Amino acid sequence: MIYAWFAFMILLSGALVAWFLRHPLKDYGFDLQKSNIALGRQKKLELQNDLKLGLIDADLGQQAQDDIAKTLAQELTQSQVRVRENRPVPIWLAAVLAIFIGVFSLLIYQALTPKFTVKIPTKTTQLSLEESAVKLQNYLAEQPENAAAWQILGLKYFELNQLEASLNAYEKAYQLSPKNPKLLVEYASSLAIKNNNDFHGRPIELVKQALMLEPDAPDALYMAGLYAVSEQEFKLAELLWRKALARLKSGSIEHKILLDVLAELSELTNKTDKSVQTVEHLAAGGNSIKVMVDFSDEILSSRAQDFLMIYAKAAVGRPMPLAIVKIRLKDFTGQIILDNSNSLLPNNTLSQAGEVLIVARLSSTGAAFRQAGDIQITSAAVRVKDNPTVNLELK
Amino acid sequence: MLPEIGHFALILALVFAILQVVLPSVGLLRANFALAQLSKPLLWMQFFWILVAFAILMNAFIIDDFSVKYVANNSNTQLPSIFKISAVWGAHEGSLLLWALILALWSVAVSVFSKRLPSEVLHHILIILGLISIGFLLFLLLTSNPFERLEIIPIQGRELNPLLQDFGLIIHPPMLYMGYVGMAIPFAFVLSSLIRGQLDSTWLRWSRPWTLVAWAFLTFGITLGSWWAYYELGWGGWWFWDPVENASFMPWLVATALAHSLSVSEKRNAFKHWTVLLAISGFSLSLLGTFLVRSGILTSVHSFASDPARGLFILIFLVLVIGGSLGLYAWRSGRWSSSNKFALLSRESGLLLNNILLIAAMLSVFLGTLYPLLLDSLGLGKISVGSPYFDAVFIPIMIPAALALAIAPFLRWKQDSTKRIGVLLRKIWGLILLLFIAALFLTDNIWVLLAVFLFIWILTHSLWLFWQRLRQKSGINLGFIGMILAHIGIAVFLLGATVTTQFGVEKDIKMSLNETKIIKGYNFVFNGVERFSFENYQGFKGNIEVFFADEKITTLTPEKRQYSTGMPMTEAAIDPSLYRDLYVALGEPLGAGAWSIRLYYKPLIRLIWLGGLLITLGALFAAFDRRYRLKISASEL
């Protein structure tokens, strides 16, 4: 159906081009020389008006008129009158152009269309995840041998956070198609999440199978890297992730994520004792605020990679942070200390403030402004001079 | 299926843009009119297919088609219908599509309303516009496809940035884009002249009205943006010297210079090289603005995109456009005749001074905007350039410009004398002196006194000039009225901007229930805050009654909203009037019914936007002057 529409659009375009080729638009019949002559005359009339209004000295009027004539003469010398052919274009050229439009546009479309198969919705109202899962189940009741459908069902259940149902669907898909690397990685991922991100046992076996089938599969390499980190095999993890990185398109989201992960790995391996940093903070002088933040288990498990931003802002006045700490949630030890060393501007430090509000924000992007999906909590106002401790909860 | 049709329509538009460049070029080279004349119908078809794509994207928003990634990322079922329409250009991909549509619209306007242009010149212009269109359509299709589908369709879309859920967003971007993209028209005119090697009267005469219309849209777009920032961002400011604002201000300064320079080139055959460079700079700065906003270099409400591939594409496009056009200029510039002569004191000199000051101002903004970015990108540290720099550098340049703009219209072409000007203007200089002395009794603020002086200076000169011409009867035309309006607009803007900056009062305070604060004689009584909810947000609504001399003026209800996706927003409450605005924004709850509240008193702030509107109106009047509507009849030829 879609290609019928494309054909109609191409035919319409081709027909219009052919029509305009056979029936050229009306030419107004004047060329550049005639246009410049006419404008030269108009400029002379405007000069007369300027003289009448006193916008040019009467003595200089003749000189201005000579300037106009001189300019026109130069313009006429520069421009050439070209004899134009007005013969209609042969019909075969019109046909070639129409074909060109069709072939060229379809080639571009083929080149730019995403590689995955898109399920085009037939209704304007979209199905919910639950509805999609039910439809897939109904379909699989009739076509139980369709491994791809089981795999999609596994993913749907995974998104619905129904891990048991997801694993069952993946297992069925695996039984039907055990040599699909993408399926193996998805299955391993669901299993690991079910086991609190533990890749030991079946998950890593599935990842290994995927790598045997496709040694350069980036998602399998990524998973293997995570396993290596859990085993304190940082060098191996770096090797695997760098290999995956080489396979990913530069600028893609996956590429960026992997770069971030590698940077964190590098930090992890070079990390100094955090307690030393804490002592340094305290030594920075001035007042400080101890901030303790509690997270629900769900947040800790599902958003470990998100950025946690904890900052103090004036209770009254501009909302610019006076002191801020930004770390990944997985690196958060439960408390941080805000002091002058975390201030953004030397002349606007935490110690200079009276009452402040403490804000804790969890953000997937780490952007300065609050984004959709961020969660945030703000404390009651506290006095900086009291060196208070603030307890916050993000659930 | 519709999004696929929209995607294909964009591809067809690209194919037609390519044909719009290739076929007429072959036609012009081989003097074949049948092929050359295709520039118009091919352009119309390109426009038609972009319009189809745009309509399909808008439809996807209206019917909540979340299978389209762009729709899912920027709309949801709870979004009010009007914002579903404006959400089409609320983020990167859609705004680029709007950009391409506006470029095609401008091109169609040129093809339809340029009946006085020789067809050969028009074909050249449309070829250049086709080339620019190819660049933008490729950018859309390769890096920013608005019709990209999602493999898994979400149940609900995300939220359009609440800052953008506002009437201002419905009109600000289209107007600004009309101005930005409109600068492509004088650019195309100048490039067509460079290619033909003929920088003649035809080009100069017919490119000016297009420049003026683009300038009008740019002015209106910037004015709307300033107004929107004032009431929507909750800071009470009207201009922040934000790099994105500067990105639109730089082409405006160049367009202002170009509109003036073109009039001299056209009437007196002077400044031709300068005019060419201004036309190239104007469009290049528009593209630079696009690069800054779209590449992700800047972080602000305008930075929808942070994709290096997009930034690289625009950078390459920018280099091609600037490099190509300057290269063409270097190759062709030796062919033109020298300028006609004019004396040091003449209208030509006055307009030249205006141009030099405007370009110096533009360069100061350019430096302040790009230098921090350059340092940052070279890893040499971060510096912040804000209003102290711009106030110190920009204002001293604009003071002589404001002084000169009042005098220049009185100067004669080619040569004038100080004696004549002195005799002509001594009466109004006396009047200005008297008015200024009266103003001295009102304030001792040096900046306000300066602004009042400039206001009186420009207004008195403009009205005197108008009166003189009125007496001469034949001297009044739309172009002249446009100039007077635009100059008065500058004066009104100067007064509003200075007075509101110098005499505005801003209080960040804690207010308890029933507490009263007094600002400039206005009593603000805080009656507390109540919860409320709307279609796609809920939040707190404050109640602040304002009294003046014991008489209730108004009740202001600032809001602090929490959108359904969790995004917070501050919605200021404003009591507007031509003399002053009272502006209240809610801060944070501070316990026991107390809230932090921002109270502002903004005298004459409305004059800022009134000035912008007057300049816009002036530019439109000038663009529709009779001389640009004269028909060149066959008998005249």
B 326-385 near A (Cβ less than 8 A): 335, 337, 340, 347
In this structure, are residues A136 and A156 in contact, taking their beta carbons and an 8 Å threshold? yes
The CA-CA-CA angle for residues A274, A276, A279, to 5°, reads: 115
pLDDT in tens, chain A (395 residues): 788 888 999 999 888 888 888 787 877 667 778 888 888 888 888 888 888 888 888 888 888 888 888 888 887 877 665 656 566 677 788 888 888 888 999 999 888 876 444 444 444 344 566 767 777 777 777 778 878 888 888 887 877 777 788 888 898 888 888 888 888 888 888 888 777 667 888 888 898 888 888 888 888 888 888 888 777 778 888 888 888 888 777 666 677 777 877 877 777 676 534 433 443 444 345 788 989 888 888 888 788 878 888 988 877 765 667 888 878 888 787 888 888 777 765 556 788 788 888 988 888 766 555 655 678 888 888 888 888 889 888 87
- Check: CB of residue A133 under 8 Å from CB of residue A156: yes
Tell me whether residue A123 is in a domain.
no
Q: Which residues of B touch A17 (CB under 8 A)?
A: 19, 38, 41-42, 45
C-alpha pair distances (Å), B5 with each of B12, B62, B66: 10, 17, 16
**Residue bearing tokens 């990105």:** B247
CB < 8 Å to A43, chain B: 201, 267
Indicate whether A302 belongs to any domain. Answer: yes
d(CA B337, CA A379) in angstroms, rounded, equals 73
Q: Is residue B110 part of a domain?
A: yes
Residue A126's pLDDT is what?
A: 44
Partner residue facing A40 (CB), from B65, B201, B596? B201
Q: Which residue of B has its CA nearest to A118?
A: B151
**Bridge partner residues of A327 (DSSP):** A308
pLDDT (0 to 100) of residue B40: 92
Closest CA to B353 of B417, B416, B272, B271: B271
User: How is residue B608 written in tokens?
Assistant: 């800022």
In terms of domains, do A54 and A171 share one? Answer: no
- Do A133 and A241 sit in the same domain of this protein? yes
Whole-number Å distance between alpha carbons of B53 and B28: 31
Cα(B3)–Cα(B53) distance, integer angstroms: 8
pLDDT at position B402, please? 94
In this structure, are residues B43 and B31 in contact, taking their beta carbons and an 8 Å threshold?
A: no
Q: Is A59:B420 a contact under the CB 8 Å cutoff?
A: no
**In the beta sheet, which residues pair with residue A308?**
A327, A362
Region of poorest pLDDT, from A155-159, B376-380, B564-568? B564-568
Domain boundary among B147, B165, B183: B165
Residues 6+ apart with CB under 8 A from B589: B529, B540, B595
Among the listed residues A142, A168, A148, the one whose alpha carbon sits nearest the alpha carbon of residue A157? A168
- Do the domain assignments include residue B188? no
Which residue of chain B comes nearest to A126, CA vs CA? B155
pLDDT over 70 for what percent of chain B?
94
Closest CA to B232 of B573, B601, B537: B573
In a domain, A121, yes or no: no
Q: Is residue B183 part of a domain?
A: no
In a domain, A284, yes or no: yes
Average pLDDT of B172-197? 91
- Final residue belonging to a domain, choices B165, B198, B228: B165
Confidence of residue B253 (pLDDT cuts 50, 70, 90): very high
Is residue A369 domain-resident?
yes
What is the DSSP secondary structure assignment for residue B198, as one 8-state letter?
Answer: -
Tell whether B636 is covered by a domain: no
Q: How confident is the model at residue B35 (pLDDT cuts 50, 70, 90)?
A: confident
Q: Which residue of A has its CA nearest to B599?
A: A317
- The pair of structure tokens assigned to A205 is 């076996």
Is B476 inside a domain boundary? no
Domain with residue A142: its CATH number is 1.25.40.10
Looking at every residue in chain B, the average pLDDT score rounds to 88
The C-alpha of B442 sits at a distance from chain A's nearest C-alpha, in angstroms, of: 32
B420 token code pair: 């004549």
Q: How far is B535 from chain A (nearest CA, A)?
A: 17
Q: Look at B200 and A370 and tell me if their CB atoms are within 8 Å.
A: no
Of A269, A286, A312, the last residue of a domain is: A269
The rounded distance, in Å, linking the Cα atoms of B193 and B405 is 30
Residue B376 placed within a domain: no
Q: Report whether B39 contacts B25 (CB < 8 A).
A: no
Q: How many CA atoms, within 13 angstroms, populate the side-chain half-sphere of residue B15?
A: 27
CA distance readout (Å), B573 to B442, B497, B520, B546, B558: 30, 21, 18, 12, 5
Query: Least CA distance to A53: which residue of chain B?
Result: B475
Do A178 and A279 lie in one domain? The reply is no
Instruction: List the one residue out of A38, A76, A64, A77 whose CA is nearest residue B269.
Output: A64
Q: How confident is the model at residue B208 (pLDDT cuts 50, 70, 90)?
A: very high
Same domain for A137 and A17? no
Q: Which of A35, A49, A357 sits opposite B474 (nearest CB)?
A: A49
What's the rounded Cα separation, in Å, for the pair B156 and B73?
10
Half-sphere exposure of A83 (CA within 13 A, CB side): 1
Based on the domain organization, do A65 and A6 belong to the same domain?
yes
Query: In chain A, which residues have their Cβ closer than 8 Å to the Cβ of B28?
Result: none
Give the mean model confidence (pLDDT) for residues B8-36: 91
SS3 B37: coil
| pLDDT value for A124 | 37
Chain A to chain B Cβ contacts (< 8 Å)? 251
Residues of B in contact with A72 (CB under 8 A): 201
Question: Average pLDDT of B314-318?
Answer: 85
CB B543 within 8 A of CB B574: no
Q: Please name the residues in contact with A118: beta carbons below 8 A apart, sequence gap of 6 or more.
A: B67, B149, B151
Q: Is B429 within a domain?
A: no
pLDDT at residue B617 in the model: 97
Q: Are B527 and B514 in contact (CB under 8 A)?
A: yes
CA dist B295 and B165 (Å) reads 23
Which residues of chain A have a CB within 8 Å of the CB of B585? none
Confidence at residue B607, expressed as pLDDT on a 0 to 100 scale: 96
Q: Output the pLDDT for position A272.
A: 39
Q: How far is Cα B340 from Cα B266, in angstroms, rounded to an integer?
A: 12
Residue A18, pLDDT score: 85
Q: Are B481 and B465 contacting, i.e. CB atoms less than 8 angstroms apart?
A: no
Neighbours of B510 (CB within 10 A): 19
* DSSP secondary structure, B100-158, as one string: HHHHHHHHHHHHHH-TTS-HHHHHHHHHHHHHHHHHHHHHHHHH--TTPBPSS--SS--
Is A118 within the bounds of a domain? no
Judged by a CB distance cut-off of 8 A, whether residue B585 touches chain A is no
B417 touches chain A (CB under 8 A): no
Same domain, A257 and A317: no
Domain span at residue A135 reads 129-269
Give start and end residues of each alpha helix (H) in A177-286.
Answer: 181-194, 202-213, 218-230, 234-247, 253-270, 274-283
Sequence-ordered list of residues with C-beta below 8 angstroms from that of A54, at least 6 positions apart, any chain: B412
- Cβ contact, residue pair A316, B335, below 8 Å: no
- Sequence-distant (≥ 6) Cβ neighbours of residue A28 within 8 angstroms: B115, B118, B119
User: Beta strand A389-394 with A288-295: parallel, antiparallel or unpaired?
Assistant: parallel
- In a 3-state reduction of DSSP, which class is residue B412? coil
- Same domain for A290 and A370, yes or no, is yes
Q: Tokens standing for B595? A: 């809230």
How far the first Cα of chain A sits from its last, in Å, is: 49
Q: Which residues does chain A have within 8 Å of residue B189's beta carbon, measured at their own beta carbons?
A: none
Cβ atoms of B161 and B90 closer than 8 Å: yes
3-state secondary structure of B257: helix
End-to-end CA distance of chain B: 54
8 A C-beta contact, residue B600 and residue B504: yes
CB neighbourhood size of A124 (10 A): 12
Residue B386 lies in a domain: no
Predicted pLDDT at B580: 94
User: Nearest by CB to A86, which of B34, B65, B627?
Assistant: B34
Contact A34 B7 (CB under 8 A): no
Q: Which of B507, B185, B568, B124 is nearest to A361 (CA)?
A: B568
Q: Which residues pair with B596 in a beta bridge?
A: B510
CA dihedral B82, B84, B88, B90 (to 10 degrees): 90
Q: What is the pLDDT of residue B294?
A: 66
- Cβ atoms of A310 and A293 closer than 8 Å: yes
Mean pLDDT of B575-597: 89
Q: Tell me which chain A residues have a C-beta less than 8 angstroms from the C-beta of B637.
A: 30, 34, 37-38
Q: ipTM of the predicted structure?
A: 0.77
Residues of A in contact with B630 (CB under 8 A): 42
Could you say which of A52, A86, A112 is where a domain stops?
A: A112
Quick one: A150 and A234 in the same domain? yes
Tell me how many domains chain B contains.
2
Q: Whose structure tokens read 């206001």? A: B455
Q: How many whole angstroms separate alpha carbon A221 and alpha carbon A226?
A: 9
A183 shares its domain with A60:
no
| DSSP letter assigned to residue B516 | E
The answer to whether residues A151 and A234 belong to one domain is: yes
B43 pLDDT above the threshold of 90: yes
Contact A155 B152 (CB under 8 A): yes
Q: How far apart are CA B209 and CA B478, in angstroms?
A: 12
Pair (A264, A296) in one structural domain = no
How close is the nearest chain A Cα to the Cα of B159, in Å?
7
Whole-angstrom Cα Rg for chain B: 26
Q: How far is A284 from chain B (nearest CA, A)?
A: 22
The crossing angle, in degrees rounded to 10, of helices A2-22 and B39-62 is: 150
CA–CA gap between residue B522 and residue B601 (Å, rounded) = 9
Bridge partners, residue B118, by sequence = none
Do A56 and A136 fall into the same domain?
no
Distance CA B383, CA B373 (A): 9
Sign of CA dihedral A324, A327, A332, A333: negative
Q: Which of A244, A269, A294 is the endpoint of a domain?
A: A269
**Amino acid B303: pLDDT:** 44
Query: Would you call A84 and B32 a contact, using CB atoms and an 8 Å cutoff?
Result: yes
| Distance set, CA B96 to CA A272, B102, B136, B296 (Å) | 47, 10, 8, 15
Phi then psi for residue A361, to 5 deg, are -130, 135
Alpha-carbon Rg for chain A in angstroms: 36
Check CB contact under 8 Å for B153 and A127: yes
Domain boundary (B165, B185, B210) is at B165
pLDDT at residue B630, rounded to an integer = 67
Among B269, B586, B597, pick the best mutation site for testing chain A contact (most A Cβ within 10 A).
B269
Tokens of B241: 């010297």
In a domain, A119, yes or no: no
Q: Which amino acid is at B166?
A: D
Residue B552's SS3 state is: strand
**What are the chain A neighbours of B149 within 8 Å (beta carbons)?**
114, 118, 120
Q: Residue B301 contacts by C-beta under 8 Å, 6 or more apart in sequence?
A: A369, B161, B163, B164, B244
Q: Which range of residues forms the domain containing residue B534?
A: 505-605
Is some CB atom of chain A closer than 8 A to the CB atom of B590?
A: yes
In this structure, is residue A117 part of a structural domain? Answer: no
Cross-chain CB nearest to A372 (options B12, B472, B567)? B567
